[in-house]
Amino acid sequence: MKRRTIRGKVPLRISFGGGGTDVAPYYIERGGVVLSCTIDKYAYGTIRKSNDHNVTIHSLDFDILVKYDVSENIRVEGELSLVKAVLKHFRINHGVEIFLHSDAPPGSGLGSSSAIATLVIGLLSAYTRTPMTDYEISELAYQVERHDLRIPGGKQDQYACTFGGMNLIEFREDATIVNPLRVPRPVLNDLEYNLLLCYTGKTRLSGGLIEKQVRRYQEKRDDTVSAMDDLKRLAYNMKDAILRGELRKFGGFLHESGESKRRMNPHAYPKQILSVYETAREHGAIGGKILGAGAGGYLLLYADFDRRRELIEAMKAINIMPVDFHFDYKGLQTWEAE
């Protein structure tokens, strides 16, 4: 086989509303919905034929290297198990090298783990010339993470980063539907300018938080079930507000979404995060929420343009660093390198 090199990148995402309703069994029993948009923070990857019979996986972020003979039965465990699990779904009969790195670590709340899964699927699909639709790539990534590896979590990230752009994603037992939103460019520009993405200084593994959320739902706790229903309602409200250009109303819904998320699972908002958010509210934030499962990673805030600078300085004063970002609309991309 001719030595081919395939590169790819996939955007990370910010979730505005509905996060948590994409986690089974809630979405299976009651239907879930998430409003999200991808941003210009990425997971990157390269795959190329090697000169031996080894499959070699390089994680450039963590300086980890995993190597095994292509004839071996892959043991999906230990370091880079997510990548190995994806490789099991493709029939690679010769040695390859895979290089991976990401703009954000796992546990940051930007969906980086799922981005890696979809990226590797995209790379292998292109490398093996196996045509796959965006829905097929997203569903395989979900299968690998949630079923093959039994990693607790939801279903939004795989679809968000594969499709790219701003989407209302609806989850049912029998189907997932991605609804792209046609938002006027001036509204998108204002929304992007008024949002502030802040790194809280620590990451967390979401598994324990997700398991607590699922347990609370399975126990049919009124606060958790009603909060999840509210999160679903708010996702639709936020979608309507964006399409109508009612961004201040969107900011209020973002605040309600954060409050509902805290009722759904109080463990998502430790005292440190609550203190940061209270400071943000005192300095112009109309709304905000912790991203991902919670407890750390990135905090998303919304403020009117005339108080944005005040909010930025207030966050810096408590060592919470704002991160520049822009929306991304392309989703998963792969190409053959020269």
Active-site position among 22, 103, 148, 157 = 157
Q: At what angle do helices 134-142 and 112-127 cross, to 10 degrees?
A: 120
Give 109-138 pLDDT, tens digit per residue. Answer: 899 999 999 999 999 999 999 999 999 999
Rg (CA), the chain: 20
Q: Is the pLDDT of residue 3 over 80?
A: no
69 carries an active-site annotation: no
Q: 254 near 302, Cβ under 8 Å?
A: yes
- The pLDDT of residue 205 is 54
Residue 203 and residue 107: Cα distance in Å, rounded? 5
Please give the biggest Cα pair distance in the chain: 62
Is the predicted pLDDT of residue 255 greater than 90, yes or no?
yes
pLDDT of residue 92: 87
What gap in Å lies between CA 74 and CA 96, rounded to an integer? Answer: 14
Q: How confident is the model at residue 102 (pLDDT cuts 50, 70, 90)?
A: very high
Cβ of 280: how many Cβ atoms within 10 Å?
24
Specify the 3-state DSSP secondary structure of 176. Answer: strand
Q: What is the overall mean pLDDT for the chain?
A: 93
Task: Say what the pTM is.
Answer: 0.93
Q: DSSP alpha helices (H): ranges in the chain?
A: 26-30, 81-87, 112-127, 134-142, 156-163, 185-194, 207-218, 222-243, 247-264, 271-282, 308-317
Length of the chain, please? Answer: 338
Domains and CATH numbers, the chain: 5-182+328-336 (3.30.230.10), 185-323 (3.30.70.890)
